Structures are given as structure tokens and as C-alpha cells.
Amino acid sequence: MAAANQVRGHTEWAAKLETMSSLKTKAAAAASGKTMLAAAVADVVLILAFAAIGRDAHHREEPILGVLLTAWPFLAGAAAGWAASRAWRRPLSVLHAGVPVWLGSLIVGMLLRALTAQTVVLPFVIVATVALAVFLVGYRLLLAVAVRLRSR
């Protein structure tokens, strides 16, 4: 009888641990979902900012539509970078998300611009390379440094 009670006690304890583990997993999934969404939104906003800054520097007309027309190839490229690297797994990682999203936005973005008869000249490619790196890799790098400094 004592052995049966002991087994039942272990079974109940295991069930409680499994429930606690399940709750932690659900909480972690919710947190990672929010992190993924925040990173995706940040990437979109920063690419739109890149397009807006560039259009403003060249005094282009149609601010909203123009920004969207300028940004769409880079947004498509960023989406390709997210998909190719599975960035949703570690959306704030510099190497696993930031660099692939940057390179995707740059390379696919420039290819799409060329295919749609938009300007692709060396000075623009250089500016886009630097600006998109600063924006898409930069905020992830700053967050990584902040987390590292906080953990000290």
C-alpha cells in the first residue's frame, strides 16, 4: 500500500511538473512571438525610413506612394532574408537574423529594382549597402550589447 501511495505521489508530482513546463513553454512561445513581431515591424519601419530618407535627399514627389514604390523591392528582399534564414527562430540575433535580412534586402532589392527598370547605380548600391546594414544589423547589435552589459 505504501509503495502504491509513493508511486501515485510521484505520478502526481510528474503531472504538476509537466503542467508547469507546459506553462513555461507557452509563456516563452508568447514572448518569442512578440519578439518576432517586434523585429519584423522594426525591419519594415527601418526599410521605409531608408526609402523616405533617400527620396527626401533627392527631393522626390509623392511622399507616401513614392516611399512605398522605392521600398517594396527591399521589403521583398527582407522577407526573403527572413525566410531563408528562418529569422523568426532568433529574430534579434545579429548573425542569424540581422545579416541575412540585410543581405536579402540588399541583394534581392537591387535585383528587383533592376528587373523593374528602377535605378541601380554604384553610388546608390554603396549607400544602400551601408544604410541597410546600419539599420537592419545595427539595432540588433545595439540590443545585443545592451543585454550583455545588463547581465554583468
Block mean pLDDT (10 aa), the chain, length 152: 53 54 50 88 98 80 86 98 95 96 98 94 96 98 93 84
Instruction: Specify the pLDDT at position 11.
Output: 60
Sign for the pseudo-dihedral over CA of 57, 60, 65, 70: negative
Instruction: Specify the pLDDT at position 14.
Output: 54
Answer yes or no: are the C-beta atoms of 32 and 97 closer than 8 Å. no
Instruction: Specify the pLDDT at position 19.
Output: 55
**CA distance linking residue 82 with residue 22, whole number of Å:** 28
Buried b / exposed e over 33-70, threshold 16 CB at 10 Å, is eeebeebbebbeebbbebbbebbeeeeeeeeeebbeeb
Instruction: Specify the pLDDT at position 16.
Output: 55
